[in-house]
Amino acid sequence: MAFTKLAQDRPRILIVGGGYVGFTVAKKIQKAVKATGGVVTIVEPNPYMTYQPFLPEVAAGSMEGRNATVPLRQHLRDTEIIPGLVVSVNHAARTAVVEPIDSGEPFELQYDEIILGAGSVTRAFPIPGLAEVAIGMKTVEEAVSVRNWVLERIEVASVLEDADARRRALTFVIVGGGFAGVETISELEDMAREAVNRNDRLTPSELRFVMIEAAPRIMPEVPEDRAEKVVAELRARGIEILLNTSLSDATGGNLQLINMADKSPAGEIDTDTLIWTAGVAASPMLKNTDFPIDERGRVRVNADLRVAGDAGVVEGAWAAGDNAAVPDLSGGGVGGFCVPNAQHASRQALVLAKNILPRDDRCGGWSGPVEGRGEL
C-alpha cells in the first residue's frame, strides 16, 4: 500500500491509536488545527472506535456489535486517518514508523507533536494451555465470538448423553474479578439462563458459572464494602466466586487451580469455556520508543498529561489512557495512578485536548496546562 496523499508540508499532530483518547482528542482539536494550517493524523488499524465498556452487553446479545462502535471517518472529517499500526517512535527525530494493515512496506511519518493513545492489550501469563483455550474480551469480534460460543455449548450440551461431557459444556469460567470480569459473568449468566429456559432438554440448575480471582477481593477500584455486596449478589445468583485463587495449568480446558497464599492445589475444573479478563497491560509498542517508561510498561506523564521523565518534560509529547501512568491527584487510585478504564481515558482526553491547544484558539503560544485530575 502506498500512501500518496499524506500531508507532507503542514505541521502535524500525530495521534497513536483511535480509541477513547485518540478519537476524543481528534474530535476536539481537528478544526482548530486545520484552521491554523496544520493537520491532525490518527494511525489506527480499525476503521472504528470501540466502546469497550459495552462489550459484556455485546457478548450477552443485549446489544449489537455495531452499536458498540463509532466509525472514525464519519466523525473525524477534518482528521487524516491512516489504517495501520505505529510500531516504533523516534521522538528525538520526530518520526514514527507505520506498518499498513495490508502488510505493505512500513514507512516513516514525520510529526511535530505526538499523542500516545495506543491503549492496552490483554494481560496474559505463561500458564500452560492458556493461549490455546482462553478467549479475551478486548474487541467486538471477541465479544461476538463469546456469545456464539456460549450459545453453541448450551445447544451441544442438550443432546449429549455423557454426563461428564454435558457438565463440561455447561461450565463457564471467567478469570479476573475487575469491572470487565464482573460485568461479563453477570451478562452471560443472564443470557445462558434464558437460553436454557427455552430448551426442554436442559434445566437452569445444570449451568455452572465460576469466577476466579487471584486477589482476596474483586473490583479493587471500588470501596471494599461495595465489592462485598457485589460478591454476595453474584453468589445469590448461583455464581461461584473463588478468591485468592489462580490457575497453574489450563491444558485442554482442564483447569488446575492453586491457592495464591502457598501455591498449594485448590482443585480442578473441566470446561469448554475459559474467558480471560484478568487485567490489561500497556501497549507493547511503547518499548520501541525513546519515551520514559515505568516498571509496568506505561509511558510516564505529569498530571497535565505531558510526557515527563527524570530529566523533566519531553517537549511535544503527550499521553493518556491505558498506555499512560497518569497520577491520580485524588489519592484514591491504585498505586497513586488512575486505573486503566474507559471513564478515565475519556476524561483525560478532554483535558489533553485543552492543554495541547492555546486557550484563546489562536495559533502560537501556550497559555498554561490544566492539571489532569482537576478537570475530571
User: What is the DSSP pairing of strand 254-259 with strand 265-270?
Assistant: antiparallel
| DSSP per residue, 308-374 | EETTEEEEEEEE-GGGEE-B-TTS-SGGGB--SSHHHHHHHHHHHHHHHS-TTS-SS----PPPGGG
pLDDT at 340 over 50: yes
Banded model confidence at residue 169, pLDDT cuts 50, 70, 90? very high
Instruction: Check residue 366 and give its pLDDT.
Output: 32
The per-residue pLDDT for range 240-257, each reduced to its tens digit, is 999 999 999 999 999 999
Instruction: Check residue 7 and give its pLDDT.
Output: 64
pLDDT at 374 over 80: no
Instruction: Check residue 325 and give its pLDDT.
Output: 97
pLDDT at 362 over 90: no
The stretch 143-160 carries a mean pLDDT of 97
Looking at every residue in the chain, the average pLDDT score rounds to: 92
Instruction: Check residue 198 and give its pLDDT.
Output: 96
The stretch 194-221 carries a mean pLDDT of 96
The per-residue pLDDT for range 275-297, each reduced to its tens digit, is 999 988 999 999 999 999 999 99
Q: Which of 220, 193, 189 is nearest to 204 (CA)?
A: 193
Bigger pLDDT: 208 or 365? 208
One of 3.50.50.60, 3.40.50.720, 1.10.3720.10, 3.30.413.10 is the CATH number of 12-122+281-375, namely 3.50.50.60
- Residues 6 or more apart whose CB falls under 8 angstroms from that of 166 comprise 157, 160, 206
CATH of domain 130-278: 3.50.50.100
Residue with the three cell numbers 486557550: 359
Do domains 12-122+281-375 and 130-278 share one topology? The answer is yes
Q: Domain spans of the chain?
A: 12-122+281-375, 130-278
Instruction: Check residue 222 and give its pLDDT.
Output: 86
The per-residue pLDDT for range 98-126, each reduced to its tens digit, is 999 987 899 999 999 999 999 999 988 99
Its pTM stands at 0.89
The stretch 325-352 carries a mean pLDDT of 88
Instruction: Check residue 146 and give its pLDDT.
Output: 97
User: What is the DSSP pairing of strand 208-212 with strand 240-242?
Assistant: parallel
